[in-house]
Amino acid sequence: MRRILNFANALVSLCAGLCIAVSLLYAGFALWDNGQIYAQAEGPTQEMRSLMSSRTPEEQNAQGEEAQSPLAEMQKINPDVTGWITVPNTGIDYPVVQGEHNLTYINTDVYGNFALAGSIYLDSRNHRDYSDNYSLLYGHNMSRHRMFSDVNLFKQADFFARNTEAVLYTENENFLLQSISCILTPASDSQIMNPENWNTLSLDQYVEKVCNNAVNVNEAGLEALKALIAAGLQPRILALSTCSEEYTDARTILLMLMN
């Protein structure tokens, strides 16, 4: 009987040890896999970022080289690159691509490789030259300030108030972006989440729309928008969209005036 009990105890200990070992292996794999996801988010970007800080056209001309803009260099790598978005004091500093449809780059990096982190991408219904009245960018909400997670920082009143400008570099011109509002809206919002529907808004409806569901409003940006409308001019707005946690399909949208 004692032998049976000793054998049973040994078997239980062995099983417990195996379970612990498997748990440790799984935890290690999960950490490695998580690290790979974040590496996918930053690896290709670091390479593209080096092009953004490469020699200026003047430096190239001084050496008898044909001037090439950083975006032109990126487009040699991937013709889908349409621009570069930089938001100071955040982790948002990425190339922007545009696919055939809005699922093309949701889990694809700027090199066209599978990556859960995806890319920052322009809505497929927009013109790639950002000539629309309303252009919509998407990016995943990831931790460690990756992709568009820092769009959610603009829900904080003090951060929103201190950070009102960004830059969009495009093929033909660069835009100084001025924040108008940060709003929280469902993914089903038929105008905010659809550039084609936004274009059906009258100028008077612009102000109502950018203030509707607003968490924070930049009065200076709002006044600049109103001034353009009063002058009979067509404002251009860039929206940065990412997932939020308030409810199932919540989206945080940072609306910025393109100057």
Summarised one tens digit per residue, pLDDT across range 53-84 is 754 444 444 444 555 678 999 999 999 999 99
- Assess if residue 130 is contained within a domain: yes
pLDDT tens for 178-192 read 999 999 999 999 999
Query: How, if at all, do strands 81-86 and 174-186 pair?
Result: unpaired
Q: What is the pLDDT of residue 68?
A: 64
* pTM, entire model: 0.80
Q: 187 lies in which domain range?
A: 69-258
Q: Is 196 left (phi over 0), alpha (psi -120 to 50) or beta?
A: alpha
- Assess if residue 51 is contained within a domain: no
- Assess if residue 166 is contained within a domain: yes
Range list of β-strands (E), the chain:
81-86, 93-97, 120-122, 134-138, 165-170, 174-186, 214-217, 237-243, 250-258
In which band, very low, low, confident or very high, does the pLDDT at 90 lie, cut at 50, 70 and 90?
very high
pLDDT tens for 100-109 read 999 999 999 9
Dihedral sign computed on CA atoms, order 17, 20, 22, 28? negative
Counted domains in the chain: 1
Closest CA relative to residue 151, chosen from 222, 91, 211: 91
- Assess if residue 171 is contained within a domain: yes
- Assess if residue 233 is contained within a domain: yes
Average the pLDDT over each of 35-44, 229-238, 242-251 and give the range with the smallest value.
35-44
Identify the CATH number of the domain in which residue 125 sits: 2.40.260.10
- Assess if residue 41 is contained within a domain: no
Q: What is the pLDDT of residue 37?
A: 43
- Assess if residue 10 is contained within a domain: no
